[in-house]
Amino acid sequence: MQLYNTLSAEERARLIDEAGKERLTLSFYAYAKIENPKKFRDDLFIAWNALDALGRIYVATEGINAQMSVPADNFEAFRDTLEVYDFMKGIRLNVAVEQDNHSFLKLTIKVRNKIVADGLNDETFDVTNKGIHLKAQEFNEMLANPDTIVVDFRNHYESEVGHFEGAITPDVENFRESLPIINEQLQDFKEDKNLLMYCTGGIRCEKASAYFKHQGFKNVYQLEGGIIEYARQIKEEGVESKFIGKNFVFDHRLGERITDDIISQCHQCGKPCDNHTNCANDACHLLFIQCDDCKALMENCCSTECQETIHLPWEEQVAKRKGLQVGNKIFRKGKSDALKFKKSGDISAQPLAKATPLAESKDIRQKIKVKKTLIGKAEHYYSKSKIAQFLIEAGELKLGDRILISGPTTGEQEVVINSIYVNGAYSDQAKAGDQITFELPFRVRLSDKLYKILEH
Task: Print burial letters for 18-53: b (CB count within 10 Å at least 16), e (below 16).
Answer: eeeeebbbbbbbbbeebeebeebbebbbebbbebbb
Query: How far, in Å, CA of 311 to CA of 301, rounded?
Result: 11
Query: Rounded to whole angstroms, how far apart are CA atoms 256 and 358?
Result: 11
Strand partners for 247: 256
DSSP 8-state code for residue 71: E
Write out the DSSP string of 326-380: -GGG----S--TT-TT--TT----S-SEEPPPTTT---TTSPP--EEEEEEEEEE
Cα(448)–Cα(52) distance, integer angstroms:
24
CA 257, 263, 269 angle in degrees (round to 5)?
110
**Cβ atoms < 10 Å from Cβ of 313:** 12
Helix, strand, or coil (residue 163): strand
Question: Residues 410, 442: contact at Cβ < 8 Å?
Answer: yes
Whole-number Cα distances in Å, 254 to 102, 246, 276, 304: 12, 10, 6, 24
199 classed as catalytic: yes
Choice among 199, 279, 284, 306 that is catalytic: 199
Edge-to-edge strand list for the sheet holding 243-247: 162-164, 243-247, 256-257
CB atoms within 10 A of CB 340: 12
Q: Is 385 exposed, middle or buried (0-12, 13-18, 19+ CB in 10 A)?
A: exposed
CA 326 remoteness from chain centre: 18
Residue 52 near residue 74, CB atoms below 8 Å: yes
Contact 126, 215 (CB under 8 A): no
Q: Letter for the amino acid at 437?
A: T
> CA-to-CA distance for 102 and 99, rounded, in angstroms?
9
φ, ψ (nearest 5 deg) of residue 64 = -140, 145
DSSP 240: P
Enumerate the active-site residues: 199
